[in-house]
Each structure stands twice: as structure tokens, then as C-alpha cells.
Amino acid sequence: MRRYVIKRLAQAVGVLWAAYTVSFLVLNWLPGDPVTAMASAGMDSGDVDPARLAALRQEYGFDKPAPVQYAEHLGRAVRGDFGDSVSTGRPVTSTLAGALPQTLQLTGAALLLAVVLGGGLAVPATYTSRRWLRQLLLSLPPLGVSVPTFWVGLLLVETFSFRLHWLPAFGNDGFTGLVLPALTLAVPTGAQIAQVLAKSLLTALGQAYVETARAKGAGRWRVHLRHALRNASLPALTVVGLLVGQLIAGSVVVETVFSRDGLGRVTAAAVTAQDIPLVQGVVVFGALIFVTTNLVIDLVYPLLDPRIVVTSDRKAALA
């Protein structure tokens, strides 16, 4: 078990390094640089003294050859220092730390809602014996996955804020401000959970142990929830791990539509301004959250299914 954890940790570090390196390459390959972007911040073609630009590039170290910049930045990043944002001058780590709680709140609430929505749809859809109801319920997830988040957000704002005046249209203030953005973000996520869970529930219900349980006289509900759902939730859990990444990405759109502060807004602003230190900070940080979540989920598997034993081998063997 310990060897397994160590190995997984090493993999996680590898993923972080790759995220850092790829983002560095992409950002350096782009034409232009953050200093020029900043100098033209007024959106006007005013004159900028080239000597001043050169001095600024030197100050931020953008004048050095790419490999040197890479080595220097990586060295500092390992120690948790991603430098200062070019557009605001604030340290990248404090910018991210300031935005993180808002995004955690949003994605946490969205994930919770998504699990409730997904389970709430998959369980009755597979339980009901009415064909039309099953068809109806099972046709909702593909719809939820395919409508754009942006559109869902605007629709919810239009209805619940502008027309009904129930909830605020923007801001990070309290619980009321969290409802609509979390719901928006939960729609595509919940739909995917529902799809996977419904499919694995149907598979599980055809398994022999379900027959056995029924033969022993277990009621339909009991078979469905205690026996089938428990096994069927494993693939859904794996999906949840992947969806965490999607939730963070989705926060870019949702935080913009609902004018919330958070990692998504920071990301959007950093990319627009070509703020290399901040973008790199966001990429590595996002990768960190993703890697950690998936690591935790891998370690949770044995608790859900006693048949899974983690070994130092690549595969998780069935005992």
C-alpha cells in the first residue's frame, strides 16, 4: 500500500511538471509579450517608448533566452514562488489564494448538486418499470450535456433574477448568490454522472449476485439501492474525479456570467493580458487540484469495494 501511494505521488509530480512545461512552451511560442500587452492596456495606439519597454522586459526577466527563463522560473516554482503577476504586480500565489475559496465554494456546491441531480435521475430511471418514464428520464442527461453552460446561465439569470427577482444576478455575496451559478455548473456535470450511473446500474441489475439477492427474498428497493447501486457507484466515482477538472474549467464561464470572483475570472483575465506568470500559476494549480482529487478517489476505492486491493503493480487486482 505504501509503495503504491509513493508511486502515485511520483506520478502526480510528473503531471504537475508536464503541466508547467507545456504551458511555458505554449505561452512563449505565442507572439507578443506581456510587457507590450500591458503598455497597450488603454487599447489605444498611443506611443510607447521602446527603451522603456526594454527596461521593463529586463525587470521581469523576459529579455533572457527561453531556456534560462524556464530554468529560473521552474527553480522558483518548486519552492512555491510563481513570481508576480505582470498586470497587477501582486504575487501570483496570493492572487490564487485569494480567488481559491470562492471557486472551491462554487465547485463544491456544484459537485454536491450534480451528485444529487445525477443520482436523483439515474436511480428512478433504472428503477421504474414504466417504459415511457424511463425513456423520458434517460433522455434528459444528453440534453444537459449538450446545452452550452453560458446559455443555461443566462437563462437562469433571466428567469430567477430579472423576472422573478428571487436571486441576485451577480456577485459573491452569501448563499443566495451561490444558488444560480452552482446550479448552472451542476447541469452538465450532473448529466454526466446520471449517464454513467444509469448505465452501470443497468449493468449491475443484470448480474448474478442481484439474482441471488432477489432469490433470497430481498425487496426491489433493497436490491436496487443496497446491492446494485453500491457496485454501480464505482464507475460514477471515477467520472467524478475527471469531472473535478471540468468543474474548474467550467468556472471560467460561470464566474464570468455571474460576475463572481474566483479562479475562473483570474484565468480569463490572465489569458487576455498574456500574463505569463499568472497563467502558469493557474495551470499548475489547476493540475494540482485535479491530481489530488484523483489520488484521493483511487485511495477510496478499496473502502467502497472490499474486492479491490491496491498493489504496487500498475493494475488494481481483484482478489
Partner 1 sequence: MTALSDVRTSRRAALTALVTTSVLLTACGSGGGDSGSGAGQPRSGSTLTFAVGSDAGCVDPQQVASNETVYAVRQIVDSLTDQDPRTGRIVPWLAKSWDVSSDATTFTFHLRPGVTFSDGSKLTAQVVKDNFDAVPKLGALGTLAEGYLSGVKSTTVVDPLTVKVTFGQPNAQFLQATSTHSLGIEASASVKRTPQQRCSDGVIGSGPFVSKQYVQNQSITLAKRTGYAWGSSRWSKKGEAYLDRLVFRVVPEAGVRAGSLQSGQVDAISSVGRANEAALEGGQVTLLCRANPGVVFGLGVNNSRPLLKDVKVRQAILAAVDRKQIADTVFPTGTQPATSVLAHTTPDYTDLSSDLAFDAAKAKSLLEAAGWKAGSDGIRAKDGKKLSLTISWFPNAATNQPALELVQQQLKAVGIDVVLKQGQVSQFATTLQGGDFDLVWGNVTRSDPDILRTSFSTRLANFYRLPATSLDTALSGQAATTDTAKREQLVEEAQKLIVQNAYNVPVVELQTQLAVSKKVHSLDFDSGSRIQLHDTWIG
Give contact residues for partner 1 (rule: CB under 8 A): 30-50, 52-53, 56, 84-90, 98, 154, 157-158, 161-163, 165, 168-172, 256-259, 261, 265-266, 269, 272-274
Burial label, 299 (beta-carbon count in 10 A; 0-12, 13-18, 19+): middle
Distance of closest approach, residue 12 Cβ to partner 1, in angstroms: 30
Distance of closest approach, residue 202 Cβ to partner 1, in angstroms: 40
Residue 84 carries which DSSP code? B
Strands (E), the chain: 308-309, 317-318
Q: Which is nearer to partner 1, 169 or 309 (CB)?
A: 169
| CA dist 274 → 22, 88, 266 (Å) | 15, 12, 12
Q: Which is nearer to partner 1, 183 or 193 (CB)?
A: 183
Q: Which is nearer to partner 1, 95 or 126 (CB)?
A: 95
Q: Are 249 and 298 in contact (CB under 8 A)?
A: no
H helices, E strands: number in the chain? 13, 2
Distance of closest approach, residue 48 Cβ to partner 1, in angstroms: 5
Q: 317 has which bridge partners?
A: 309
Through-space distance between the first and last CA atoms of the chain, rounded to whole angstroms: 15
Q: Which is nearer to partner 1, 81 or 305 (CB)?
A: 81
Q: Which is nearer to partner 1, 207 or 259 (CB)?
A: 259
Strands (E), 43-202: none
Distance of closest approach, residue 146 Cβ to partner 1, in angstroms: 21
HSE-CB for 252 with a 13 A CA cutoff: 14
Q: Which is nearer to partner 1, 125 or 263 (CB)?
A: 263
Q: Which is nearer to partner 1, 93 or 259 (CB)?
A: 259
Q: How far apart are CA 253 and CA 265, in angstroms?
A: 8
Q: Which is nearer to partner 1, 152 or 237 (CB)?
A: 152
Residue 308 DSSP SS3:
strand
Distance of closest approach, residue 275 Cβ to partner 1, in angstroms: 10
Distance of closest approach, residue 255 Cβ to partner 1, in angstroms: 9
Distance of closest approach, residue 50 Cβ to partner 1, in angstroms: 6
Q: How far apart are CA 278 and CA 89, in angstroms?
A: 10
Residue 91 carries which DSSP code? B
List, in order, residues 6 or more apart from 86 with CB less than 8 Å away.
34, 35, 37, 38, 60, 273, 275, 276, 277, 278
Q: Are 252 and 107 in contact (CB under 8 A)?
A: no
